[in-house]
């Protein structure tokens, strides 16, 4: 171990609708209705440390890909955007299988709350697994961070959007009761499906039924060439 190594302590943990990797947006900002709540951990739960942050519409989260923490990194990975066939370097990607397991996402800042000794930040447009450890929060500074004209190789455009989602009669009924607790769930499902979360190596004509977990629910859907068809939204099977 090098003496240049150093230790990281999470400053908090984020609660998100995403209980498993499948279905998570491939970058932040894609699903605006994907809301997360960060609970700040001791000793970082000092409201002074957040003074002025409310003036920023967007913030950077630095986080740890915690499910990969004990797994080896690999020099080459297969990004889903390249059809799952072509290999590129791990540092040319934002793959989770990377040295140091650090990720970064820009998210919208909705709310900062103090509840007794706890501090909660509500953020939108997230792409993080539930209970991801947050290791830093920084303001987004457009004059430094925003480079609209940057060239971005294979990731120059957002994932292809299918902008139509239909819900079965069953799914519509289920939505009525679920919406009481999660008012934006229909919009969220639409946003997640529109980025086409199916595995990269699927067939074009693919009538398979996929299941994605969201909050405590299993969302089942099919792709039928013209739109995404949500079959059902049922209580999650215990995993």
33: DSSP letter:
T
Angle at 44 between CA 47 and CA 4, to 5 degrees: 140
Nearer to a second copy, 122 or 168 (CB): 122
Q: Of 201, 28, 54, 182, whose CA–CA distance to 122 is shortest? A: 54
**Which residues, 73 to 92, sit near a second copy by CB under 8 A?**
75-76, 87-92
Cβ pair 191, 34 in contact under 8 A:
yes
Nearer to a second copy, 2 or 177 (CB): 2
Label the pairing between strands 76-77 and 165-167. unpaired
Among residues 16, 28, 33, 165, which is the contact residue for a second copy, using CB under 8 A? Answer: 28
Nearest distance in Å: CB 179, a second copy? 29
**Which residues, 137 to 196, sit near a second copy by CB under 8 A?**
137-158
The site for a second copy, by CB under 8 A, has a size of 73
Nearer to a second copy, 66 or 202 (CB): 66
Among residues 19, 24, 60, 129, which is the contact residue for a second copy, using CB under 8 A? Answer: 60
Among residues 39, 62, 122, 222, which is the contact residue for a second copy, using CB under 8 A? Answer: 62
CA pair distance 181, 153, nearest whole angstrom: 41
State the Cα torsion 87-194-131-199 to the nearest 10°.
-40
- The number of beta carbons lying within 10 Å of the beta carbon of residue 70 is 7
Nearest distance in Å: CB 174, a second copy? 32
Among residues 21, 71, 83, 102, which is the contact residue for a second copy, using CB under 8 A? Answer: 102
Among left, alpha and beta (phi > 0; psi -120 to 50; other), residue 61 is beta
Nearest distance in Å: CB 186, a second copy? 24
Nearer to a second copy, 20 or 62 (CB): 62
Nearer to a second copy, 129 or 171 (CB): 129
Residue indicated by tokens 């299941």: 211
Nearest distance in Å: CB 176, a second copy? 34
Nearest distance in Å: CB 87, a second copy? 7
44 touches a second copy (CB under 8 A)? yes
Cβ pair 228, 220 in contact under 8 A:
no
């Amino acid at each position: 171990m090098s003496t240049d190594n150093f230790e990281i302590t999470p400053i908090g943990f984020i609660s998100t609708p995403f209980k498993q990797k499948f279905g998570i947006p491939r970058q932040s900002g894609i699903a605006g209705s994907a809301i997360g709540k960060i609970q700040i951990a001791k000793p970082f739960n000092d409201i002074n440390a957040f003074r002025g942050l409310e003036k920023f519409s967007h913030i950077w989260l630095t986080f740890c890909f915690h499910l990969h923490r004990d797994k080896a990194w690999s020099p080459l990975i297969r990004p889903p955007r390249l059809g799952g066939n072509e290999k590129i370097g791990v540092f040319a990607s934002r793959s989770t299988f990377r040295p140091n397991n650090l990720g970064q996402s820009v998210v919208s800042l909705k709310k900062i709350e103090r509840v007794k000794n706890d501090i909660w930040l509500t953020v939108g447009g997230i792409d993080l697994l539930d209970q991801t450890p947050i290791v830093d929060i920084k303001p987004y500074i457009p004059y430094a961070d925003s480079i609209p004209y940057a060239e971005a190789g294979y990731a120059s455009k957002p994932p292809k959007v299918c902008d139509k989602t239909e819900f079965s009669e069953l799914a519509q009924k289920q939505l009525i009761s679920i919406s009481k607790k999660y008012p934006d769930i229909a919009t969220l499902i639409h946003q997640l499906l529109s980025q086409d979360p199916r595995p990269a190596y699927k067939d074009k004509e693919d009538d398979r039924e996929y299941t994605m977990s969201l909050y405590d629910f299993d969302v089942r859907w099919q792709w039928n060439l013209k739109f995404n068809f949500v079959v059902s939204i049922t209580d999650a099977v215990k995993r």
